[in-house]
Amino acid sequence: MLLAKLKAGLKKTKELFKNIFREEDLSQWEEILLSADCGVRVTKNLLAKIEREPGNRKEILKREIVKILKEGTKEKSCPLPPYVIMVVGVNGSGKTTTVGKLAYHFREKGKKVVIAASDTYRDAATQQLAIWARKAGVEIVPSEKGQDAAAIAFDTISKAKSKGIDIVLIDTAGRLHTRKDLMAEVKKIKRVVAKVKENGPDDIFLVLDATVGQNGIVQAKVFSEELGLTGIIITKLDGTAKGGIVLACAQELSLPIRFVGLGEGIEDLVPFSPEEFAEAILE
């Protein structure tokens, strides 16, 4: 099912990669890889391998793509519940929608989930999140505009502890990576989480819009330096031929891609698999 979804969602990227194997000239390969937004570094490394090694070019390319996508992937320990995930990103990346889809994903796995509405900047942020929580069938700790975002996160984790809830998802306000004041606020949320959950948060996911391309990597580097990201969620992959951004993110950031968004439906956020991604774009 996951592979079928990836193939359907990555249709535009797959069409672009199809052209590669019609070309003998590697300079044409370079043009296609860059068009797919693989980035200069990834493109250069892939072509160097293909030029050096004898054998089936498609198999070499597939193997190297999987290798890149596995960089930065580490085995996660299983901390005591609740498992706390902070979700961060710039405005318009699909962050709040992603939180709702994550909630659904974990509930479908049999987990009890609660969402912290820690986006206290945007008008109607809680209302939007509440709609997703209802769709996902999970609880939410609401907030009002102007409330202390860190306090909402604290209260949500405390509730999860008292009620035996497995997963806490913390939705934070969208913020530009260049806004020092807003970055300070999200760092405060992280500090407060650590007070109520030992070694928390357990994960900090950055949501990146695939259509933003290489600019997203610049954003991600700042977020990673400031917060210590543990993974990337890439949204809107179904709307672009630039699925190579997945490769650029993995190599430039040395962070695992944890989920990808392949549509607007609540089931359209899927756990990421390097092997299945490579299969989907090179089939």
Residue 187 CA to residue 273 CA, distance in Å, equals: 30
pLDDT tens profile 191-215: 999 999 988 999 999 999 988 877 7
Examine residue 232 and state whether it is found in any structural domain, yes or no. Answer: yes
Rounded to the nearest 10 degrees, the angle between the axes of helix 215-227 and helix 180-196 is: 50
Examine residue 175 and state whether it is found in any structural domain, yes or no. Answer: yes
Residue 210 Cα distances to 101, 244, 262, angstroms: 17, 9, 10
Residue 174 Cα distances to 26, 65, 183, angstroms: 41, 31, 10
> For residue 2, what pLDDT is reported?
65
pLDDT band at 75 (very low <50, low <70, confident <90, very high): low
pLDDT band at 62 (very low <50, low <70, confident <90, very high): very high
- The answer on pLDDT for 165 being more than 60 is yes
Examine residue 248 and state whether it is found in any structural domain, yes or no. Answer: yes
> For residue 72, what pLDDT is reported?
66
**Residue 37 tokens, joined:** 């937004």
Examine residue 89 and state whether it is found in any structural domain, yes or no. Answer: yes
Domain with 254, as residue range(s), is 83-282
Examine residue 215 and state whether it is found in any structural domain, yes or no. Answer: yes
The tally of domains found in the chain comes to 1
Which residue bears the tokens 């997963």? 167
> For residue 85, what pLDDT is reported?
97
> For residue 175, what pLDDT is reported?
73
Average pLDDT over residues 214-238: 89
- The answer on pLDDT for 145 being more than 70 is yes
Between 108 and 182, where is the model more confident?
A: 108
- Report the CATH number that the domain containing residue 188 is assigned in CATH: 3.40.50.300
Examine residue 27 and state whether it is found in any structural domain, yes or no. Answer: no
Examine residue 68 and state whether it is found in any structural domain, yes or no. Answer: no
pLDDT tens profile 78-106: 778 999 999 999 888 889 999 999 999 99
Q: Look over the chain and give the mean of its residue pLDDT values, rounded to a whole number.
A: 90
Examine residue 121 and state whether it is found in any structural domain, yes or no. Answer: yes
